[in-house]
Amino acid sequence: MHNKNRGIVCLFFCTLLSSLLVVSHSPKVCAADMNLVIDNMPRVFGLGVGFAPDYEGSDDYMVGVAPFARFQFKGHQQYILIKGYELQINLIDHSWFRLGPSVNYHWGRDHDVDDSVVKKMKKIDDTIEAGGFVGVEFIDQDNPRKRFLADVDFLTDVGNEHDGYTITASTRFWYPLSQMFDFGFGIVLCYASDNYMKTYFGVDKKDAIRTGLPVFDADSGVKDIRINPVFVMHLNMNWHVAAGVQYRRLVSDADDSPVVDKRGSSNQWIGGLGLAYSW
For the chain, which residues make up each domain, given as ranges? 3-278
CATH code, residues 3-278: 2.40.160.40
Predicted confidence (pLDDT) per residue in 194-233, tens digit = 999 999 999 999 999 999 999 999 999 999 999 999 999 9
The mean pLDDT of 25-51, rounded to a whole number, is 72
> Which pLDDT value is given to residue 207?
97
End-to-end CA distance of the chain: 17
Q: Measuring CA to CA, which residue among 84, 79, 168 is closest to residue 132? A: 168
Asked if 53 and 61 count as a contact pair (C-beta separation under 8 A), the reply is yes
> Which pLDDT value is given to residue 158?
98
Minimum mean pLDDT among 25-34, 105-114, 220-229: which range? 25-34
Across the chain, where does the E strand assignment appear?
A: 43-53, 61-72, 79-83, 86-90, 97-106, 127-139, 147-157, 165-176, 181-192, 221-234, 239-250, 267-278
**% of the chain surpassing 70 pLDDT:** 87
Report helix, strand or coil for 93.
coil
Compute how many other C-beta atoms are within 10 angstroms of the C-beta atom of residue 161. 19
The mean pLDDT of 239-267, rounded to a whole number, is 97
Q: Which residue has the higher pLDDT, 6 or 255?
A: 255
The mean pLDDT of 170-177, rounded to a whole number, is 96
Per-residue pLDDT band at 37 (split at 50, 70, 90): confident
Nearest 5°: the CA angle 170, 13, 100 is 35
> Which pLDDT value is given to residue 8?
44
Evaluate if residue 33 carries a pLDDT over 70.
no
Residues 128, 194: Cα–Cα separation, whole Å: 18
- The pTM score is 0.86
Minimum mean pLDDT among 9-18, 93-102, 145-154: which range? 9-18
Nearest 5°: the CA angle 154, 155, 161 is 155
Residues 128, 116: Cα–Cα separation, whole Å: 27
